[in-house]
Amino acid sequence: MPSSRALPRSLVVAWTVALVLVVGAAPSRADETRDAEPEPVAGPAGADWVWPLARFRLERAFEAPAHRYGRGHRGIDLRADPRDAVRAPAGGTIAFSGAVAGRGILTIDHGGGLVTTFEPVESDLGAGASVRRGDEVAALALGGHAPPGALHFGVRLDGEYVNPMLLLGGVPRAVLLPCC
């Protein structure tokens, strides 16, 4: 007889990783350029998420690692117009703003286990500052792994990296094909 117990956390994590791997395998839209006012997208718990830049080109897509410490690209890189400010994709609280290993980092805690990170950036905001969706939070800087003129945008859900495009509506819907 089936138990009414909740699924073990390891099974939930395994299903989540499988979903991220399938979605991460979707064709890249690296040549896509976006030059428009962002449209809010329904995120978790009804939050509206917007792109962190007004004008950009997707430079590098999210690449899920095979395991927690495996190779991958835990975010997306956006080629930016250097005049554009980096904006908060959703409301939250600045969790960290400062330099790490010689590059500027800004982290926003959105609640519900969601945290976004931007690099390389310069920001006058300090930890504890509240931000609203679309607020200017930083300026693009140099450093880090992203090429000059690109912003790295990462998202963690309960400490695990997820594809930021899942929250921004930029991932094409998976289509199941017949196998035989």
Going by C-alpha positions, the residue among 134, 93, 126 that lies closest to residue 111 is 93
Band (pLDDT 50/70/90 cuts) for residue 47 is: low
Burial 94-106 (b: 16+ CB within 10 A, else e): bbebeeeeebbbb
Dist. CA 83–CA 81, nearest whole Å: 5
| 146 vs 131: which has the higher pLDDT | 131
> Looking at the 3D structure of the chain, how many domains does it have?
1
- Which is more confident, 118 or 176? 118
Q: Would 49 be classed as within a structural domain?
A: yes
Neighbours of 50 (CB within 10 A): 20
Checking if the pLDDT of 31 tops 80, the result is: no
Mean pLDDT of 14-28: 45
Is 138 a member of any domain?
A: yes
Rounded CA separation 20/23 (Å): 5
pLDDT exceeds 70 at position 142: yes
- Three-state SS annotation for the chain: CCCCCCCCHHHHHHHHHHHHHHHHCCCCCCCCEEECCCCCEECHHHCEECCCCCEEEEEECCECCCCCCCCCECCEEEEECCCCEEECCCCEEEEEEEEECCEEEEEEEEECCEEEEEECEECCCCCCCEECCCCEEEEECCCCCCCCCEEEEEEEECCEEECCHHHHCCCCCCCCCCCC
CATH number where 127 lies:
2.70.70.10
Asked whether residue 21 is domain-assigned, the answer is: no
Q: What is the pLDDT of residue 118?
A: 96
Specify the higher pLDDT residue, 141 or 23: 141
Domain that residue 116 falls in: 32-168
Is the pLDDT score of 4 beyond 90? no
- Residue-level pLDDT at 28: 42
**What average pLDDT does the structure give for the chain?**
78
Query: Residue 11 domain-assigned?
Result: no
Stretch 35-47: mean pLDDT, rounded?
A: 46
The pLDDT of residue 100:
93
Q: Hey, what are 106's tokens? A: 């800004």
- The string of pLDDT tens digits covering residues 69-112 is 888 788 899 998 888 899 999 999 999 999 999 899 999 999 99
User: Does some domain include residue 178?
Assistant: no
Whether 5 is in a domain gets the answer no
Instruction: Identify whether 23 is part of a domain.
Output: no
Q: Is it the case that residue 178 has pLDDT exceeding 90?
A: no
What is the pLDDT, as a whole number, of residue 16?
Answer: 52
- Classify residue 101: in a domain, yes or no: yes
114 pLDDT tier (thresholds 50, 70, 90): very high
